Structure 1
Amino acid sequence: MIEWFTIAQIVVALLVGLVCLVLGGIGTKPNDVSVLGSALVALLLLAQIVISIVAPFAGNAPTGDPVEYWIYLVTALLLPVLAIIWALIDRSRWATVILGVAAITVAVMLYRMQQIWFVQIYTPVV
């Protein structure tokens, strides 16, 4: 995991989330801004998956539980993808709010993934 990339992802996810919540709050249906913003969050998570696969081979292994990290990462990737599908099916203002909630949830999950990767010390049970 690359720390600056994770921080950039958190900032992007928070910005997308706040924009979608504001758009949903004023009654805007899902549009290019909200859907493509959420797609950007998902794309960055795909890049995080590639980084997470390569990083241990480059000497940057997680200090926390790798299973917990991967569960967070896969779940975080599913959130914006499923929110986008929801927004394409349900063309109401609430779909825009769901896109915002999903993006903010991804930001929180990314923060937790950063803690798992850098902070915790994992001792496997033998």
Structure 2
Amino acid sequence: MIEWFTWIQVAVAVAAGVLCLVLGAAGKEPNDYSLGAMLVVEFLLVAQLLVAVLAPAFGNHATGNPLEFYTYLVSAIILVPLAGFWGLVERTRWSTIILGVAGLAVAIMLYRMLQIWTVQLS
């Protein structure tokens, strides 16, 4: 993992989550802003997958359990489209709130992935 890239991802995921929570609290249904913000989060997660797969080839190895790391990463990658699908199927304010919760959950998962990659000892 690249630390600065992960912090950017955490910031984007938190911003998208807060945006969706605010829009949901305002009674807005999922729209281009909420779904688009989550799409950016998903794009960055896929980029993180690519970085994580290539990083060991360049000497950047995980200090923690790689299986745990990739489980978090794949779960986060799956979580965002599921929340987006929910937002498209059930067009209510609660769907927008679910998008916000998913964004914040991804931010927490990214922070945990950073801990696994850099802090833990095998």
Give the equivalent residue in structure 2 for 1:77. Answer: 77
Q: For the aligned residues, what is the CA RMSD?
A: 0.4
Give the equivalent residue in structure 1 for 2:92. Answer: 92
TM-score normalized by structure 1?
A: 0.96
Q: Does 1:55 align with 2:55?
A: yes
Structure index of larger Rg:
1
Give the equivalent residue in structure 1 for 2:101. Answer: 101
Give the equivalent residue in structure 1 for 2:14. Answer: 14
Counterpart-to-counterpart distance in 2, 1:11 and 1:28: 23
Unpaired runs of 5+ in structure 2? none
Counterpart-to-counterpart distance in 2, 1:17 and 1:101: 6
Counterpart-to-counterpart distance in 2, 1:6 and 1:119: 14
Unpaired runs of 5+ in structure 1? none
TM-score normalized by structure 2?
A: 0.99
Give the equivalent residue in structure 2 for 1:24. Answer: 24
SS in 2 for 1:120: coil
Show structure 1 runs of 4+ deviating over 3 A: none
Give the equivalent residue in structure 2 for 1:66. Answer: 66
Q: Does 1:46 align with 2:46?
A: yes
User: Shift of the alpha carbon at 1:3?
Assistant: 0.3
Give the equivalent residue in structure 1 for 2:110. Answer: 110
Counterpart-to-counterpart distance in 2, 1:63 and 1:99: 32
| Residue correspondences, number | 122
Q: Percent identity?
A: 52
Give the equivalent residue in structure 1 for 2:3. Answer: 3
